[in-house]
Structure 1
């Protein structure tokens, strides 16, 4: 395995595959904070060049984090389809990129191919792709998933309605939810981040959303994004949860810092099947984000893009209904500015799709990052063009509980109208029945929550 090259008269020698992966990554403040980033643009280009010539076999046979010491690595390794891998193991990373982008390669081809790839291979090819490459490649892949309804169809842009409230006040949360539904938002999930993640609080919020969904016969799913153990207890006690949620990470140690293990998530999945109200077959919701492993001091000097890809390999094992990366949320220590946030959002979406999972994005930023609303609207356009399964929307784009900026309800409506996207078919039929949509477009009642007071 050659880890050396000469570029513009300078010899670049990389100490290991881990070192090469980190230095081939696009500029990320998190990698610099970890002390593993390329020192110069020239070193980054040299690293990309060396990486492009490595074979998929080189990557598999030199794991960045050994399966013997990490359960995420074991799960990723255990999912590789050997016949598919054997047919492509001698491809270089560059040849994998060419195959992905080739006009004759279909989305179905890529889904079959993905079963022979591990997460590090997918991360490697993302590192040598441009932003437009990432958009074009991801848009080829259609990933359908079903809980109560099916999302992910070509031409569909689904959305999570996020009616958070700073005191978990049900009346305030319901007001935001009604407004969002009146804009056609909420087909992927009505998902609440609670301030109080006690079992009783989770039960109260689940009952409130479920009762409203039942009353108005809304074809969607509910979820309260508390810790998985609180949701499991609530569901056992009869709370109506269509899905169970958990944030995940790309290493076993980082997952343990979240208070989870692979076994716990298997138990949650089984519990959702037995006690949950979702019809399935998929009943899990995972959330990720570049930099979480470094925050937990559990990154093993692996770059944050590669760790994020490992999230998706881990998630794939559980066959979730939805997964989303919260790009731009953790802060400038990991993604410093608009350029880094946009790049990370496109990388994450592509890597999720290449793992065959139903990938969404919370397109967002915090107030101490060098980005603004125009930047996340730009990323919204790019991801919609890339065929993202769903995006997240909060009232006026401002989450008053988590204190960060996301897309608004009307932003999602505008993206659909501008780029010729639709809500999920079952949800759109309900919108037409309610008079919120007319002939596939928002009606004069758009955004009017009094629709639910008639």
Structure 2
């Protein structure tokens, strides 16, 4: 593919779809590191102009990574619903954007449309959207999923409680979880990132989280975020797991670097359906994040936004309960400052929703980035208005095990209060029964973890 355009008297030439897609990105330090970004704002605008005029069939007919070379490309290609694609294949990217943003098209329309869209088409649309476009479009899409409970309803902001501990100490994790529950956090999942990735430790942590759920009759689900093979061994041993977890990349080589493959994910799917402890059909938890393919030298010169969209193409094959991008976790090599983190969070959320995914975001940053907690407050509010399915909370916004900054439990409670949102219905009812809320508002018990402790 060779395209040229003239902008303000200057002619720009692009020699491939890969180049157009990369240079149409908003400024991204990861693309600069890879040497594929636009050299100026003017070139970026020229690339956006060219991209907007491309048809969806052109994007499909010029694959960035051939299905013959990459099984993620093959999977995404095979997902396309032929009948839907035939209707829209001659649309330009600009026309797709207009359809998505139109007031005449609601959630069901967009979810039907998404069946005929590849991940690259969705990424292309995100590149020509403003931040407000991304918020408006995502806010229209409702994706409900069911594990032990159901989340994703309009007006619901669910949350993951992340009670990590630097030595996987059970008492320390319990203390963190008690605080989370006292603020109404944990309705999406109680999910622990373990330090020790062994079968026995994963087995212990799954039992501990399930025991706490049963002890307090908490309407939620448990998960331990270790490598999928460690979880599989623990589940085979009898550990009670509602969800099974894995991080994903957008290329086959990227997933190889994670130590996973499609057959392995298929095997894990069969196992959690057979031996998992959840009642509902959606039993996967996936995490993603812009830049992981570049860090493993598995990006093939493709920009990080498009690669992130391909992660969602992979995820939707498995009909997960929850998916989240860990938006600022990798660091300034890929997202340099708060502006880039904010943009990436909105892009990822929109692209996930347009794939029909129950999309969440870990609103986070590392301490060597040009960002601070106020930036995270801003992003969490924007995502709340965009209808994010869930966000993640840690004590005092500081993960003492993973050493990064996220949202605190009370931050999430505040976003709900300001935006008039609620926890998942069954969890909201449980909070009333525990006396933490009354008629949807916090009581004096809120924020007091000792209500879950036997102090006698």
- Bigger CA drift: 438-447 or 37-46? 438-447
Once the 2 structures are TM-superposed, how far is the Cα of residue 453 of structure 1 from its aligned partner?
Answer: 2.6
Secondary structure in structure 2 of the residue aligned to 1:267:
helix
- Given that 1:2 and 1:50 are in contact with CA atoms closer than 8 Å, whether structure 2 keeps it comes out as no
Where does residue 393 of structure 2 map in the other structure? Answer: 393
2:303 alignment counterpart:
303
In the comparison of the two structures, how many residue pairs are matched? 454
Partner residue in 1 for 2:121: 121
- Judge which range, 227-236 or 197-206, deviates more: 197-206
The equivalent residue for 1:270 is: 270
Other-structure match for 1:223: 223
User: In the alignment, what sits opposite 2:165?
Assistant: 165
Corresponding residue for residue 365 of structure 2: 365
SS at match of 2:116: coil
> Are 2:2 and 2:13, in contact at CA under 8 Å, matched by a contact in 1?
no
Query: 8 Å contact 1:363–1:391 — kept in the other structure?
Result: yes
Deviations, residues 381-426 of structure 1 (Å, cap 9, x unaligned): 0000000000000000000000000000000000000000000001
* Aligned equivalent of 1:43: 43
Cα-to-partner distance string for 1:52-94 (whole Å, 9 max, x where unaligned): 0000000001100000110100110111000000000000000
- Alignment map for 1:178-327 (pairs within 5 Å): 178-327=178-327
* Residue pairs, 1:27-176, within 5 angstroms: 27-176=27-176
Q: How far apart in 2 are the matches of 1:165 and 1:390?
A: 22
> 2:384, 2:396 → 1: CA distance?
19
Query: C-alpha distance in 1, partners of 2:275/2:193?
Result: 21
Offset, 1:99: 0.5
Report 1:322-361 matches (<5 A): 322-361=322-361
**1:452: Cα distance to partner?**
1.2
Identify unmatched segments of 5+ residues in structure 2.
none
* Structure 1 runs, 4 residues or longer, greater than 6 Å off: none
Give the 3-state SS of the residue equivalent to 1:5 in structure 2.
strand
Give 3-state SS (helix, strand or coil) of 1:213's partner.
helix
What secondary structure, in the 3-state scheme, does the structure 1 residue paired with 2:72 have?
helix
Give the Å deviation of 1:2: 5.7
Q: Which whole-Å deviations, capped at 9, do the CAs of 1:139-160 have from their partners, x for residues lacking one?
A: 0000000000000000000000
CA contact (8 A) 1:242 1:277 kept: yes
RMSD: 0.7
CA positional deviation for 1:19:
0.5
> Partner of 2:446 in structure 1?
446
Q: Deviations over 1:158-205 (max 9, x none)?
A: 000000000000000000001100100000000000000111110111
1:324 counterpart SS class = strand
**TM-score with structure 1 setting the length:** 0.99
* Cα separation, 2, equivalents of 1:227 and 1:312: 19
Contact 1:2/1:54, CA 8 A, preserved across alignment: no
CA distance in 1, matches of 2:314, 2:65: 14
Distance 1:2 1:130 in 2: 26
Contact 1:182 1:436 in 2 (8 A): yes
